[in-house]
Amino acid sequence: MAIVEINRDSFLPYEEKMTKTLHVLQEEFNSIRAGRANSKVLDRISIDYYGVQTPINQVANIQIPEPRIITISPWDPSSLKLIEKSIQASDLGINPSNDGKMIRLVFPALTEERRRDLVKQVSKYGEESKIAIRNLRREGIDHFRSMLKKKEITEDQMSEVETNMQKLTDKYISEIDKAVQVKEADLMEL
């Protein structure tokens, strides 16, 4: 059995999955409303548009005319009520006001208690992402251990693999910590 060469490309699938985990975390953070209008909070809300679940941003123009207001102008006026109902049914916690042509979402300033709850939520998302990264490290090491058992790699290569997987894990956990700190600071900003 030939010994397989271990190089940077050997870790690529795991690094790609770790990068994806970081992107998912950022999307989670974008969906948390921080007292300022951010159109990303609408990304998870969809309507039943002619029998198809369609995101609001695909059926309407979304604008932020003021720091705490989002306006939603549907291209098809008949979808106005559907959009309004979807927003009310979501976990957004904002009551939409409908003037017959557009929907306005006014974001109230966050209370201190609500800010602290959101910081806890951000920490929870961060911890879940770290767990996902560690699981990817374990998955990678298990993969290379099976190669070691089949004598496709040497003990020295396995030691190098473990070191490199740990470096990769540390890098992404550090990125998660930075993202959590930035989001927490953003939430606690008055």
User: Which of 46, 73, 106 is the last residue before a domain boundary?
Assistant: 106
How many independent structural domains does the chain possess? 2
pLDDT tens readout for residues 66-110: 888 889 999 988 888 888 888 888 877 788 888 888 999 888 777
Domain that holds residue 58: 36-106
Q: Are residues 42 and 88 in the same domain?
A: yes
- Does 1 reside within a domain? no
Lowest-pLDDT choice from 37-51, 77-91, 122-136: 37-51
Kindly state whether residues 51 and 100 are assigned to the same domain: yes
Is 130's pLDDT higher than 90? yes
- Examine the domain organization and report whether 151 and 85 are in the same domain: no
In a domain, 144, yes or no: yes
Closest CA to 174 of 135, 119, 129, 118: 129
Band (15; pLDDT cuts 50, 70, 90): very high
Which pTM was predicted?
Answer: 0.71
Q: CA-CA distances (angstroms) from residue 120 to 37, 117, 187? A: 21, 5, 11
